[in-house]
């Protein structure tokens, strides 16, 4: 940094490598605990997972040392990943030399900062407000493909943009670096128009901007296309699910929503008439057809029709290619992790387990399981025992996580997910009664869970089979695959119990979130 200053440069920039680095030296332990450095009452649960305190203690000392000799030299760094929480340090940034890039990449991406049902965005805004008090040069690294990883289905967010950008301007955020090499079909053009206009003038008339866009872009099809996007926005804005990855999407794309979208799309096609409105609507038809494939693929996956799910995912890729032929700003993914290609390959791999290639399907596990969170008064209760009375246990769907369902905390009687979106973290139990056909006798029976968080132990008829390792939410696939042959009883009802531990509260997928099955391995 001093070398940069001596060379006449105005600013130096550095940060840790991408990811979530930690340090366990004695000084950093003090930073985390808040001892000896003036750190007082804070959200210790957040600081335990964060190195903000340690990192900015280091940054502050570097700035102080350089600014004694070069008072006008600036230091740019990032508040990213596990470093986005504002530090609580004495005399922090007293030279006003800090330039901060803010990127809280783990927070919900579908709700606004003022949404009372989304603690993640309320917390992010509180952090940003504090950062702007500590630093007068804060800017945001903005991921604009709404699902940070996912299947690239459409998630428009004009309402979120309309509320968020004026609020960010008012607290002092300088601006943005938008990762805008994203596929515009993932949000639709209205969201891009709104965001670009308000990033230029945060207090512009957002509703007038949107009305002008619909009239000029869609022409005679403006009203039905506005109805189309309004229905999507209503579903997304009102969704009580919170995350930045695609497991929260299937519950949003309901049958009722898809029916509304279908009616609006047909009305828009009939109204469009001549070019260019006809071509503009055609692009949205491709986006809609892509969404229909996604919804159908989820249904096929839930039914154990993995080959059909793979075929639909492949067709989604073909639709993306068709969009891309219209414009290079549509139909491609800058971040291909867990996209439709990855999902199609995963479905093909699962199909091989049940189609005779690697094994044969014995049974799909029930869609519903008995469920309860772990008792806090008696951890020794044998909830896995075959004779334990589960009559009062709740029922839970196994195709979406527990934060997305109206469940109760058995220990408190209160909702498992609070009104602000905070959900239960800890251990929970799933119990299934499963009929195994007599023909499965003598076969190698494998219990397979395509996706669960974060780790699980398995009992069959009261006998412990084994447990999985801890799996971070963003590292997929989060699978469980166990040989249950020793304890399974073909020709009878079998009790299969899982104890799932999930200590995450912002993935949207806690617990079992894809349907399990049992196959006979060749």
H runs (alpha helix) in 239-305: 255-272, 277-302
Over range 202-216, report the average pLDDT.
97
Over range 410-417, report the average pLDDT.
92
Query: What CA–CA distances, in Å, run from 371 to 122, 298, 402, 407?
Result: 30, 23, 10, 9
Q: Give the residues across from 176 on adjacent strands.
A: 140
**pLDDT for 277-314, tens place per residue?**
999 999 999 999 999 999 999 999 999 999 999 999 99
pLDDT band at 181 (very low <50, low <70, confident <90, very high): low
Distance CA 475, CA 454 (A): 10
- Cα 246–chain centre separation: 6
Residue 105 preceded by cis peptide, ω within 30: no
What are the start and end residues of each CATH 2.60.120.260 domain in the chain?
359-521
For 359-521, CATH number out of 3.30.565.10, 3.10.20.90, 3.40.50.300, 2.60.120.260 equals: 2.60.120.260
Residue 240 has pLDDT above 60, yes or no: yes
Distance CA 269, CA 266 (A): 5
pLDDT at 42: 35
Helix 189-200 and helix 158-171, axial crossing angle in degrees, nearest 10: 20
Which pTM value belongs to this model? 0.91
pLDDT band at 338 (very low <50, low <70, confident <90, very high): confident
User: What's the order of all strands across the beta sheet hosting 426-435?
Assistant: 394-397, 368-373, 426-435, 493-502, 455-460, 463-467
**pLDDT for 459-501, tens place per residue?**
999 999 999 999 888 788 899 999 999 999 999 999 999 999 9
Share of the chain above pLDDT 90, in %: 73
pLDDT at 151: 75
Q: Tokens 């209205």 label which residue?
A: 190
Cβ neighbors of 337 (< 8 A, separation 6 or more) are: 149
Query: What CA–CA distances, in Å, run from 490 to 101, 387, 430, 465?
Result: 59, 19, 21, 17
Distance CA 120, CA 243 (A): 9
Structure tokens at 209: 């901007």
**pLDDT for 28-71, tens place per residue?**
666 555 443 333 333 333 335 688 999 999 999 999 999 999 99
Cβ neighbors of 448 (< 8 A, separation 6 or more) are: 350, 353, 479, 480, 481, 516, 517, 518, 519
Over range 175-189, report the average pLDDT.
81
Provide the 8-state DSSP code for 101: E
Residue 156 has pLDDT above 90, yes or no: yes
pLDDT at 337: 76
pLDDT at 24: 66
**pLDDT for 248-284, tens place per residue?**
999 999 999 999 999 999 999 999 999 999 999 999 9
Of the listed ranges 151-160, 202-211, 484-493, the one predicted with least confidence: 151-160
pLDDT at 471: 86
Count how many residues are written for the chain. 522
Structure tokens at 486: 């020793």
Distance CA 409, CA 416 (A): 5
Structure tokens at 124: 């992010």
For residue 185, which of 343, 347, 348, 340 has the smallest C-alpha distance? Answer: 340
Over range 448-464, report the average pLDDT.
94
**pLDDT for 68-104, tens place per residue?**
999 999 999 999 888 999 999 999 999 999 999 999 8
Kindly report the average pLDDT of the chain as a whole number: 90
Angle 398-404-406 from CA coordinates, rounded to 5°: 95
Structure tokens at 506: 């912002």
Per-residue b or e along 270-308, where b marks 16 or more CB atoms closer than 10 Å to that residue's CB:
ebbeeeebbebbbbbbbbbbbbbbbbbbbebbbebbbeb
pLDDT at 381: 61
**pLDDT for 374-406, tens place per residue?**
887 655 567 788 888 889 999 999 999 999 999
pLDDT at 32: 54
Structure tokens at 53: 């305190």
Residue 347: strand, helix, or coil: helix
**pLDDT for 215-229, tens place per residue?**
999 999 999 999 999
């Amino acid at each position: 940094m001093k070398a940069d200053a001596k060379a006449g440069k105005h600013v130096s920039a550095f940060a840790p490598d991408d990811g979530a680095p930690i340090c366990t030296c004695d000084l950093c332990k003090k930073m985390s605990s808040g001892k000896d450095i003036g750190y007082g009452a804070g959200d210790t649960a957040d600081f335990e997972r964060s190195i903000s305190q340690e990192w900015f203690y280091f940054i502050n000392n570097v700035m102080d040392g350089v600014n004694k000799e070069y008072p006008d030299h600036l230091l740019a760094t990032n508040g990213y990943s596990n470093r986005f929480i504002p530090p609580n340090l004495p005399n922090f940034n007293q030279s006003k030399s800090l330039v901060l890039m803010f990127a809280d990449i783990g927070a919900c991406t579908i709700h606004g900062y003022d949404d009372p049902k989304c603690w993640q965005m309320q917390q992010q805004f509180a952090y940003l407000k504090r950062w702007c008090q500590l630093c007068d040069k804060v800017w945001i690294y903005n991921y604009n493909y709404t699902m940070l990883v996912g299947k690239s289905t459409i998630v428009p967010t004009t309402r979120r943009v309309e509320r968020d950008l004026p609020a960010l301007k008012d607290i002092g955020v300088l601006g943005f670096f938008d990762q805008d090499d994203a596929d515009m079909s993932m949000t639709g053009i209205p969201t891009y128009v709104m965001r670009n206009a308000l990033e230029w003038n945060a207090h512009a008339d957002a509703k007038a901007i949107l009305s002008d866009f619909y009239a000029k872009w869609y022409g005679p099809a403006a009203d039905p296309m506005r109805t189309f996007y309004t229905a999507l926005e209503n579903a997304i804005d009102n969704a009580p699910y919170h995350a930045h990855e695609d497991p929260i999407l299937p519950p949003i794309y309901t049958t009722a929503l898809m029916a509304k979208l279908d009616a609006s799309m047909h009305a828009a096609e009939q109204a469009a008439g001549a070019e260019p409105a006809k071509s503009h609507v055609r692009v949205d038809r491709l986006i809609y057809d892509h969404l229909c494939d996604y919804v159908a693929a989820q249904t096929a996956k839930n039914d154990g029709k993995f080959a059909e799910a793979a075929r639909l995912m492949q067709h989604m890729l073909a639709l993306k290619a068709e969009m891309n032929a219209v414009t290079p700003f549509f139909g491609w993914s800058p971040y291909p992790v867990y996209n439709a290609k990855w999902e199609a390959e995963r479905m093909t791999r699962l199909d091989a387990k049940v189609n005779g290639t690697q094994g044969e399907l014995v049974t799909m596990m029930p869609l519903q399981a008995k469920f309860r969170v772990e008792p806090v008064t008696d951890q020794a209760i044998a909830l896995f025992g075959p004779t334990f009375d589960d009559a009062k246990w709740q029922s839970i769907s196994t195709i979406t996580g527990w934060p997305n369902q109206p469940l109760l905390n058995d220990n408190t009687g209160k909702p498992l997910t609070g009104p602000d979106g905070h959900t239960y973290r800890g251990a929970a139990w799933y119990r299934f009664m499963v009929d195994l056909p007599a023909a499965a006798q003598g076969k190698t029976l494998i219990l397979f869970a395509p996706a669960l968080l974060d780790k699980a132990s398995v009992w069959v008829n009261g006998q412990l089979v084994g447990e999985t390792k801890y799996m971070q939410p963003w590292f997929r696939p989060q699978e469980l695959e166990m040989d249950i042959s020793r304890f399974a009883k073909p020709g009878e009802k079998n009790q299969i119990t899982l104890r799932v531990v999930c200590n995450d509260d912002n993935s949207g997928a806690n617990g079992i979130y894809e349907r399990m099955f049992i196959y006979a391995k060749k």
